[in-house]
Amino acid sequence: MYACPDCKTSLDGLWCSTCKTEFPVRDGFPLLVPRGVQVDLAESVFKTYDRMYSQGRNIWEDQGRTPQFIEFFAGRLAELSRGSILEIGCGEGFLLAAIDAETKAAVDPSVQALARAARRTQATLAVAVAENLPFPTNSFDLVAAVGVMEHFFDDRRASREIARVLRPSGWYVTLIHTERTVAQRLKQKMSEYVFPRPRPLAAGSWLLRTIFRPRNQPVQNGYTLTSGRACLEDSGLEVREILHLRTHPDLPFVGPHVVAYVARKSAVA
């Protein structure tokens, strides 16, 4: 099912007959990383995420990846498609395990994360970058990415690649955190840990992690509600729906800065 991330030729095992590349395997997972100027940066990013995952488990729950959110998001995806689904940045596999689909594939920069995901669900898993997805054109009915778009090396290029691997009329659902001021960030933490329901133990745990185990992700793209949409539409995807708390107050999102876009590829290949 894999294709060369550079020339898009279908691989024979992990061998590309066009560019004569044999892709390596690390801890049982193929490293389908493109050649060229991004390789050194990508390797640094991979090490950073492996280090993050070595520090604990369920590391994104305090950013809103709660069981309630996972249940909601998986259900929303199931309403769109139960066919062939790709998750970009699957992390430890909580959402991937909850997705109901005929076939599932996922990519992530961390081998440690993929190892945990593999224990949770049956899926095709590889280390890869969204800018050079290692799959043939028109492979998936749906692509999902939660909290990942902000960390693409090149968000337009990645979005075009997502559109490429989608089948005609396929869906792309992506969730981002829009930019906030310091005051807005403080207000958000107050709402999470102080008011209306004080959670001193959770607040203490968050503070300790922030001080001693900060998660500084290496690539940061800032978005507004409008610029996030523009990125998708500039890449040939039509945004059909935008979900956030200002218009859907019952969503299990951690705050008003969280935005999900439901986009679709044209029916014309």
pLDDT confidence of 44, banded at 50, 70, 90?
confident
In a domain, 67, yes or no: yes
In a domain, 191, yes or no: no
In a domain, 2, yes or no: no
| Chain CA centroid to CA 77, Å | 14
Instruction: Look at 106 and 202; give whichever has higher pLDDT.
Output: 106
Least-confidence region, from 9-23, 46-60, 202-216, 243-257: 202-216
**Predicted confidence (pLDDT) at residue 100 exceeds the cutoff of 90:** yes
Q: In 3-state terms, what secondary structure has residue 77?
A: helix
Give, in degrees to the nearest 5, the angle at Cα 181 between 249 and 231: 70
pLDDT confidence of 35, banded at 50, 70, 90?
confident
Element (H, E) at 49: helix 38-54
The enclosing domain of 31 has a CATH number of 3.40.50.150
Least-confidence region, from 151-155, 156-160, 201-205, 219-223: 201-205
In a domain, 200, yes or no: no
pLDDT computed for residue 143 by the predictor: 98
**Domain region containing 100:** 15-179+215-265
In a domain, 207, yes or no: no
In a domain, 7, yes or no: no
In a domain, 91, yes or no: yes
Q: What is the DSSP string of 92-150?
A: TSHHHHH---SEEEEEES-HHHHHHHHHH---EEEE--GGG-SS-TT-EEEEEEES-GG
pLDDT confidence of 8, banded at 50, 70, 90?
very high
Structural domain count, the chain: 1
